[in-house]
Structure 1
Amino acid sequence: MDLTALRTFRMVARHEHISRAAAELRVAQPAVSRTVARLEAELGVPLFDRQGRSIRLNRYGAAFLRRVERALGELDDARRELADAAGLDQGRVVVAAETLLTLTSLLSAFRAAHPGVEIRLHQSTAEVMARQLAAREVDLCIASQPLSGAGLRSVVLREEDVLLAVPVGHPLAGRERVGLDEVADEPFVTTRRGHWQRELLDRLFAAAGRSPVITCEGDEPAATQFMIGAGLGIGLIPEIARNESAEAPVRWLRLDVPGCRRVLCLVRRADTYVSVAERRFEAAAVAHFGAGRGAGR
């Protein structure tokens, strides 16, 4: 049993698919199958249930995966800790966020200050972020809603109002505030379920005993403002976007309803070694978003 076999098993277990695991590992599919078969023979139990070409992690495999994740995680932490101690490089940070547009100015400043740090990015929903943290696929997440899972540490980056954006020519464009009842029948531009804007919209309407009228939904939160500007409907946008995407032709109103706010947090596992690169990125994120903490009414 070697590290290559353990990493191969972990990838197959995550995908429950030999071909997809082989593609991500960049090795031939037969080599992956042989590695898993040898590991099962060495352990004396099957790790997957097989039906035709499909495989599913069984109870032996699930128990083994928990141990493998822990062991490989400890080895990865040890490698990063020793690299920090020896000053061998400036490290790597893997970050997940709901929209990458939120990170552009932060990344620009961070890369200028720390050009030797490698940055890898994922665009993920909160559910996917939680899985990525659990599997140690990412180091840090920037999330606008709580992430499920034990042993997570959160740092608040920004608290702000979520505003209502309407097209320039909309009848409400001249208003400063509006009640939920006044927009209950308006078409909304939003994200798919799982993204924080949609979760907030559904929650606000549910509290009023209503359901929103959805005219446009997608997977890129940053595109919402521009779809609103194109006249497709109205929508909820965080206050920070008013300054960062000022070119979109929209007007901004405050929605008079309790809880129409966003808390942006940086989340990581509490049980892993935090590298120098991660600490620097966290400090940069706190400094970058901290100016907006408590923004709004």
Structure 2
Amino acid sequence: MQTRTLGKDGPRVSAIGLGCMGMSAFYGAHDDNESRSTLHYALDRGINFLDTSDMYGPHTNERLVGSAIKGRRDNVFLATKFGIQLDANDPHLRHVNGRPEYVHASCDASLKRLGVDCIDLYYQHRIDANVPVEETVGAMAELVTAGKVRYLGLCEASAPTLERAHKVHPITALQSEYSLWTRDPENAVLAACKRLGIGFVPYSPLGRGFLTGAINKPEDFDADDFRRDNPRFQGDNFARNLYLVEQIKAMARDKGCSPAQLALAWVLAQGEYLVPIPGTRRINNLEENIAALNVTLTNSELASIDAAFPLGAASGTRYQESVMHLLAI
């Protein structure tokens, strides 16, 4: 397995990680036994960077990951998150909590669910606009001092917020959505990460599965799949975005790889400080993603892909309006 350094002086991790969210939430029906087998297979193939969160389920994904890594803790670089609370009455609403006391309580609860005594990378899942990031990161730093956490991270933070946080305690990684159809981090965030020596962890590098070419109509989703309510997967937006995917398919055919491998190879080519975490609960998809590490794109091919997928190419916002306000604070 190829490896990359997460941050300037951070740990060496597998060049791609495994996003575990879909094993427990948001993407329709799931099978814990299948997911556990996929997690074991990932570890066997050298993927050691596993990503979860307390809000996936909520809580059930941490328990699933914890059960899968039992007895194999030394082979895992374990990342989890805190800060997003789901609204009990409306599943589309999110509340963000960055208060110091909540930081400590959330960490203790995650450690228990995961069945570990230390979290390798602990992220603030979203920035709390009502709590200065310095206070939240200060509390997170106390977890490092206490030996409960090794490294700190932020998710979906703006470049100015990232810089403020980094002054309180070194931030090892910033996790944000990044793919051919979500290139927002290129506005300022990627430059900030590179300047500060912070690793960048793209989630949904395959466009929530859309860039794989396997989704052809909204009916392909289960009734409880959150993508049914996602603007990019609805109406005219779906049709316009399907046209973008057709271009990926054509380029992949020319390259002799799958659309998913082309999309993932493009993300990997954006810099050695990027470590994408494509999510899947199926072994065959995982194997396909791993093979993307062997796809090398030429400068000419990268230029062609960039021309087909400029910033803002995707049609529709990446979340519902009720969630968009939580991004890039």
More strand by share: 1
| TM value normalised by structure 2 | 0.29
Larger of the two Rg values belongs to structure? 1
| TM value normalised by structure 1 | 0.32
